[in-house]
């Protein structure tokens, strides 16, 4: 029908009560000996069974294209219903005949072309003969040669009821694979109630061979429901695959002679990656053990690598085994399984934080760089050729550029052409060509940066990777820089000094400039040769290490000024775009500001100003949350400066290693710590095929209830209470009791504070994991993944608040709910708590919130106006902010109230996915305002879309309040651009959050990054009066109904403040308004909106209706809401 590309079809039966046994026993419908004797003379009733079975159904052409194994083909099927024609307890033979004939017609085959039927065959004396007669009438007549063979899987495992049909299909698929027709069990002799001579149908009283033949083998499968529904399916053996065999791979692995094939990497990878992952470290080792024991002669390393990369989920604990062939890979896998170190194995655990690409500057170039990647990866070669062709065009006719860039890079190492790389013009061009080619190679392997940073000329490649330039413009700019610098008279000097920036600046005079700050005590100076040498002599006298750099010019110094005017003219003619990837400037050491990278002025200043790489790296690993560093260049230079907090720092290439192994090892290093890599893309063109692999090493646990034998004389139905031998679950440790109401920190806090930092961190992590385990109802702390997000672990707003309260009491620190959103994994939360213990005052309870107490009391006494007066007065005393060009109260001076410079909220990620642009969700403006308002909505989209949440400013402690809705939207837009650049986004706003989402869409459009679409979840129109009262009243009702969710004065004052701001507000049409979807709740309960009418949206929009009411569409009906939004976006 085309309704979907793939479907799951199956059945499940769990008999949780004895009701079916009792009912059918009373009717004498069950076999007395517990044996199902289908079509046998001794049939005396059925036997109940339980089971679950699921089939993956896909179009044959799609399955072939996707490389999915085809077990069998559904040639045709039919379903009918015989109604009340023969009563509830007896099947209807004519209806069965009709459904079989219809299935055969739909399949386009004759009855004689079907070899076997897997019958419904329940073992009853009434039903089996009726079914047999129907089969004789449809399949048994006009049949020459082999009879139709008849069997029933119920003789093996009983009647699994709803799962019986899928069990029959599975049996026949296995029979096709094994080329054997299994016997039907417990048959003393064929039933005498069937006229077996009426047609050529024979019972399978023993197994028979079923080999492949000239025509496809086929089987019919029947399933008949007790209510009279009949189904029949015709299965056919899968046609032979018309794909290239992998003998050439095996030959290459055995002989060492590679072949080239296809458009990908070539027929044989010099190093094959085997990727393993698991939820727990012990499971990862068991995965390796299972794979190691499954290796047999004749298996292909490429087939296993492809299958591991494309048919297995990527989980938290990871390992990559790299090897040239099956023997080397097998040795590495088995060593890892045994807990031994092996150089071919890279392993690690996913860490919080992003991945930064660091682009090396001049000085790291070398002859032949990229040559091996050029020969191996077509995408690298194509990009390198394209970039070099652009450079050759730019350098055509320029003095000193007589050799092409590619020819210079790939020239023999000691040749005159290779020596050109020591010249500034060729060095900068060659570095840019290499780095851009590496960027495109990484992207072809599914890797993207979360942040980019470039050192000197490397900043141009970083800007290209962020989408600032089109390639021709980027090359034009780099070529002009390289050509102009090379044309300068040689002279000047540069040197590295082991000293602080402050010490160097104090000594450097007018002829010596600070060229780069690469570390706390790693500084480069540049300038006139004699002046630089004098500075070096002074530092050597102080005992500091110094080194002259081999350069032709004094870069990043005033000696570069002669090139600025001409370079500025070239830069002015280049088209710039807003970066699509977060980036940090090495000119300022900070996150990009307006004009950074996107103006000619920036690139002109970059030539003479110092490179603040140390500050930039600190910003990336601090404010930008980067924990993985990947250096893109010919040799590791920048990663040597990586901070201690980085989880991993690698360079893609190394001078002393072959390039393909260096690249794959570096990718493995960042992958096992959390970077996305599409390992399957490496196998393009290798001819690798999918093969069966060992299934996941699940940690088996027993869930039977305890044995109650002997209690009150009741006998247990559940058997042996002891579980299978194995590892016992890790118990949840008892926490030391700590008083809640006390002025002094609880006793455990003193002990925690007194521990050494490393021990305190591990102890706090253990305490946090224990509390997570308790809140989620687990009995084993091993069930908690310390790097899994709280949403993935199953938390909601309520349970997350409970966790915050428990951790606060246990560890003796005040933990606002916002801390659990900003530190969204057990490990991250534990690190935050450990830091609070080290630097905070250990306050175990939050300060008394008199504002909230007064408001709640006033509402209880129905003094609503007084409650609002309290909130408006408290809001007026809070810090505030306005639009950037319109300070509060029209004053031209900056707002000097304490806290006005406080940072607003940042987007919080709830889920990840790959099926469309990210969703940025805005919660309601009514307290309690938390990102986890979208927890169930996001959970339904896990794997489909990235879901982020951005609350309005002012709801968290310390955040200032806006003086207008537009000011709030402007601050939110700034946060969005900093986090996403111009990546495509869809905005989602719930209830009153839809008002803010509408304004944010306009602010983003004005900033040049409009959202793809706007989704409003049941957002009502604003009333003309009493909006603040309605919003605060709703907040008080929610506080009463959900007392475990903390609501403090900041949240309540913000609710009243936004109610005041949005009173009489109406959405205004904008020229660049995005497509808008209004999601309406099917049920309208006026009480949920304080008597207001059904929510509507006055501007143009499309509308869908979802189940539930205004509250449940993000609660129990959130899955339906999420799927409706996702489907609407996919259609567009």
Condensed to tens digits (0 to 9), the pLDDT of residues 872-911 reads: 888 888 889 998 754 444 443 444 333 334 467 888 888 8
User: pLDDT at position 1029, please?
Assistant: 85
Secondary structure (H, E, C), 380-433: HHHHHHHHHHHHHHHHCCCCCCCCCHHHHHCCCCCCHHHHHHHCHHHHHHHHHH
Q: How many CA atoms lie within 13 A of 449 on its CB side?
A: 32
Q: In the chain, how many H helices and how many E strands?
A: 37, 30
pTM over 0.85: no
Quick check: do 6-237 and 356-491+552-669 share a fold? Answer: no
- Please write down the long-range contacts of 968-971, taking CB distance under 8 Å and 24 or more positions apart: 968/996, 968/999, 968/1058, 969/996, 969/999, 969/1000, 969/1002, 969/1003, 970/883, 970/884, 970/1003, 971/881, 971/904
**pLDDT tens across 299-354, in order?**
899 999 999 999 999 999 999 999 999 999 999 999 999 999 999 999 999 988 89
- CATH code for the domain defined by 264-350+679-683: 3.30.70.3290
User: pLDDT at position 810, please?
Assistant: 85
Q: Where are the domains of the chain?
A: 6-237, 264-350+679-683, 356-491+552-669, 903-1131
Q: How many CA atoms lie within 13 A of 1111 on its CB side?
A: 11
Task: Return d(Cα 333, Cα 285) in angstroms, integer.
Answer: 9
Task: Return d(Cα 288, Cα 335) in angstroms, integer.
Answer: 9
Across the chain, mean pLDDT equals 86
Task: Return d(Cα 35, Cα 601) in angstroms, integer.
Answer: 87
User: pLDDT at position 1033, please?
Assistant: 84
- pLDDT band at 845; cut points 50, 70, 90: very low
**Chain centre to alpha carbon of residue 684:** 23
Average pLDDT of the segment spanning 112-129: 95
**Chain centre to alpha carbon of residue 1055:** 33
**pLDDT tens across 900-947, in order?**
344 678 888 888 877 788 999 999 998 888 887 898 899 889 878 889
User: pLDDT at position 708, please?
Assistant: 53
Any idea what the Cα angle at residue 503 is, between residues 498 and 507, rounded to 5°?
110
- pLDDT band at 1046; cut points 50, 70, 90: low
User: pLDDT at position 324, please?
Assistant: 93
- pLDDT band at 729; cut points 50, 70, 90: very low
Secondary structure letter of residue 463 according to DSSP: H
Task: Judge contact between 326 and 300, C-beta under 8 A.
Answer: yes
Identify which of 148, 184, 152, 181 has the alpha carbon closest to the alpha carbon of residue 165.
Answer: 152
Task: Judge contact between 1129 and 916, C-beta under 8 A.
Answer: yes
- Pick from 392-401, 625-634, 737-746: least confident: 737-746
Residue 1006 has pLDDT above 50, yes or no: yes
- The more confidently predicted of residues 199 and 257 is 199
CA distance readout (Å), 850 to 316, 548, 1041: 44, 65, 20
Average pLDDT of the segment spanning 234-262: 53
Residue 1112 has pLDDT above 80, yes or no: yes
**pLDDT tens across 28-79, in order?**
899 999 999 999 999 999 999 999 999 999 999 999 888 788 999 999 999 9
- Pick from 481-490, 506-515, 639-648, 748-757: least confident: 748-757
Q: How many CB atoms lie within 10 A of CB 173?
A: 18
Query: Looking up tokens 């046998």, which residue turns up?
Result: 40
User: pLDDT at position 593, please?
Assistant: 85
- The more confidently predicted of residues 1064 and 381 is 381
**pLDDT tens across 557-591, in order?**
999 999 999 999 999 999 999 898 899 999 999 99
Q: Are strands 512-519 and 272-278 parallel, antiparallel or unpaired?
A: unpaired
Q: How many CB atoms lie within 10 A of CB 240?
A: 7
CA distance readout (Å), 96 to 136, 151, 218, 226, 230: 11, 17, 19, 13, 7
Alpha helices, DSSP H, located in 609-687: 613-621, 659-671
- Fold classification of 903-1131 (topology level): Rossmann fold (3.40.50)
- Fold classification of 356-491+552-669 (topology level): Malonyl-Coenzyme A Acyl Carrier Protein; domain 2 (3.40.366)
**pLDDT tens across 156-172, in order?**
999 999 999 999 999 99
Residue 849 has pLDDT above 80, yes or no: no
Residue 727 has pLDDT above 50, yes or no: no
Q: Are strands 648-651 and 626-632 parallel, antiparallel or unpaired?
A: parallel
Architecture per CATH, domain 6-237, reads as 3-Layer(aba) Sandwich (3.40)
Task: Return d(Cα 597, Cα 475) in angstroms, integer.
Answer: 15
Q: How many CA atoms lie within 13 A of 772 on its CB side?
A: 29
User: pLDDT at position 1091, please?
Assistant: 58
């Amino acid at each position: 029908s085309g309704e979907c590309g793939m479907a799951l079809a199956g059945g499940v039966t769990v008999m949780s009560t004895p009701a079916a046994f009792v009912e059918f026993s009373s009717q004498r419908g069950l076999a007395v000996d517990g044996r199902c004797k289908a079509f046998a003379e001794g049939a005396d009733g059925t036997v109940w069974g339980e089971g679950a079975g699921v089939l993956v159904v896909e179009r044959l052409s799609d399955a072939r294209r996707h490389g999915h194994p085809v077990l069998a083909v559904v040639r045709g099927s039919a379903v009918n219903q015989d109604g009340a024609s023969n009563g509830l307890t007896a099947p209807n033979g004519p209806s069965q005949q009709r459904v079989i004939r219809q299935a055969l017609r739909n399949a386009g085959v004759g009855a004689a072309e079907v070899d076997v039927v897997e019958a419904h065959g329940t073992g009853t004396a009434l039903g089996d003969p009726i079914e047999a007669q129907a089969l004789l009438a449809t399949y048994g007549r006009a049949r020459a040669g082999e009879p139709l063979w008849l069997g029933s899987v119920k003789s093996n495992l009983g009647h699994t009821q709803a799962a019986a049909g899928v069990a029959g299909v599975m049996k026949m698929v296995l029979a096709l694979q094994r080329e054997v027709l299994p016997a039907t069990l417990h048959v003393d002799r064929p039933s005498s109630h069937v006229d077996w001579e009426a047609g050529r149908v024979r019972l399978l009283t023993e197994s028979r061979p079923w080999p492949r033949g000239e025509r496809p083998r086929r089987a019919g499968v029947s399933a008949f429901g007790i209510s009279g529904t009949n189904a029949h399916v015709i299965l056919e053996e899968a046609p032979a695959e018309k794909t290239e065999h992998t003998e050439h791979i095996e030959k290459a692995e055995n002989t060492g002679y590679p072949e080239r094939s296809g458009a990908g990497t070539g027929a044989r990878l010099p190093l094959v990656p085997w990727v393993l992952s698991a939820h727990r470290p012990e499971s990862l080792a068991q995965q390796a053990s299972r794979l190691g024991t499954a290796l047999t002669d004749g298996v292909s390393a490429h087939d296993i690598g492809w299958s591991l990369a494309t048919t297995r989920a990527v989980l938290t604990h990871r390992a990559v085994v790299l090897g040239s062939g099956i023997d080397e890979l097998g040795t590495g896998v088995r060593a890892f399984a045994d807990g031994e170190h092996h150089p071919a194995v890279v392993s690690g655990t996913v860490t919080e934080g992003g991945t930064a690409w660091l682009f090396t500057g001049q000085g790291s170039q070398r002859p032949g760089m990229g040559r091996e990647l050029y020969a191996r990866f077509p995408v690298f070669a194509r990009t390198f050729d394209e970039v070099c062709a652009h450079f050759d065009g730019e350098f055509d006719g320029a003095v000193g550029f007589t050799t092409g860039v590619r020819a210079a890079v790939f020239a023999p190492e000691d040749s005159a052409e290779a020596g050109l790389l020591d010249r500034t013009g060729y060095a900068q061009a060659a570095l840019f060509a290499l780095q851009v080619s590496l960027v495109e190679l990484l992207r072809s392997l599914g890797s993207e940066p979360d942040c980019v940073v470039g050192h000197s000329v490397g900043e141009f490649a970083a800007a290209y990777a962020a989408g600032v330039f089109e390639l021709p413009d980027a090359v034009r700019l780099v070529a002009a820089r390289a050509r102009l610098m090379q044309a300068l008279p040689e002279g000047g000097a540069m040197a590295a000094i082991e000293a602080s920036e402050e010490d160097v600046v104090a000594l450097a005079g007018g002829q010596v400039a600070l060229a780069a700050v690469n570390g706390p005590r790693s500084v480069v100076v540049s300038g006139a040769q004699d002046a630089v040498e004098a500075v070096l002599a002074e530092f050597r006298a102080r005992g500091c290490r110094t080194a002259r750099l081999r350069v032709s010019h004094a870069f990043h110094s005033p000696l570069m000024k002669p090139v600025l005017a001409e370079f500025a003219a070239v830069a002015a003619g280049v088209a710039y775009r807003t970066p699509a990837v977060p980036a940090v400037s090495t000119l300022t050491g900070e996150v990009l500001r307006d004009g950074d990278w996107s103006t000619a002025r920036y690139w002109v200043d970059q030539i003479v100003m110092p490179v603040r790489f140390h500050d930039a790296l600190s910003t990336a690993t601090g404010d930008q949350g980067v924990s993985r560093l990947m250096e893109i260049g010919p040799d590791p230079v920048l990663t040597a400066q990586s901070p201690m907090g980085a989880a991993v720092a690698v360079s893609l290439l190394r001078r002393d290693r072959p390039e393909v192994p260096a690249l794959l090892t570096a990718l493995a290093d960042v992958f096992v710590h959390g970077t996305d890599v599409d390992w399957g893309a490496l196998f393009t063109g290798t001819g690798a095929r999918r093969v069966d692999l060992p299934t996941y090493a699940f940690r088996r646990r027993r869930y039977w209830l305890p044995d109650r034998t002997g209690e009150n004389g009741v006998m247990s139905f559940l058997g042996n209470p002891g579980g299978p031998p194995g590892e016992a679950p890790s118990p949840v440790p008892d926490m030391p009791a700590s008083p809640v109401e006390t002025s002094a920190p609880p006793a455990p806090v003193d002990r925690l504070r007194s521990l050494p930092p490393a021990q305190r961190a591990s102890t706090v992590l253990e305490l946090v994991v224990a509390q997570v385990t308790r809140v989620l109802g687990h009995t084993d702390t091993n069930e908690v993944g310390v790097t899994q997000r709280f949403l993935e672990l199953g938390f909601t707003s309520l349970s997350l608040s409970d966790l915050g309260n428990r951790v606060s009491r246990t560890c003796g620190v005040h933990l606002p709910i916002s801390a659990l959103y900003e530190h969204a994994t057990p490990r991250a939360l534990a690190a935050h708590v450990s830091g609070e213990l080290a630097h905070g005052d250990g306050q175990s309870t939050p300060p008394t919130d008199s504002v909230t107490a007064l408001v709640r009391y006033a509402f209880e006494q129905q003094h609503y106006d007084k409650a609002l007066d309290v909130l408006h007065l408290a809001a007026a005393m809070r810090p505030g902010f306005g639009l950037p060009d319109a300070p509060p109260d029209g004053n031209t001076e900056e707002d000097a109230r304490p806290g006005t410079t406080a940072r607003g909220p940042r987007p919080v990620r709830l889920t990840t996915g790959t099926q469309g642009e990210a969703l940025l969700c805005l919660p309601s403006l009514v307290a309690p305002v938390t990102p986890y308002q979208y927890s169930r909505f996001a959970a339904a989209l896990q794997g489909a879309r990235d879901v982020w949440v951005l609350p309005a400013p002012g709801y968290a402690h310390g955040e200032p309040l806006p003086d207008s809705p537009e000011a709030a939207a402007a601050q939110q837009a700034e946060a969005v651009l900093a986090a996403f650049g111009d990546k495509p986004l869809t905005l989602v706003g719930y209830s009153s959050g839809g008002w803010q989402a509408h304004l944010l869409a306009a602010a983003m459009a004005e900033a040049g990054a409009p959202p793809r679409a706007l989704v409003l979840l049941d957002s009502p129109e604003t009333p003309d009066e009493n909006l603040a009262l309605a919003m605060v009243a709703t907040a008080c009702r929610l506080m009463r109904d959900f007392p475990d969710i903390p609501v403090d004065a900041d949240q309540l004052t913000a609710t009243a403040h936004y109610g005041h701001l949005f009173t009489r507000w109406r959405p205004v049409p904008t020229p660049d308004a995005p497509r808008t979807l209004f999601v309406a709740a099917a049920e309208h309960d006026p009480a949920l909106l304080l008597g207001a009418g059904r929510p509507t949206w006055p501007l143009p929009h499309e509308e869908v209706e979802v189940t539930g009411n205004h509250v449940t569409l993000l609660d129990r009906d959130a899955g339906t809401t999420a799927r409706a939004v996702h489907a609407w976006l996919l259609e567009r």
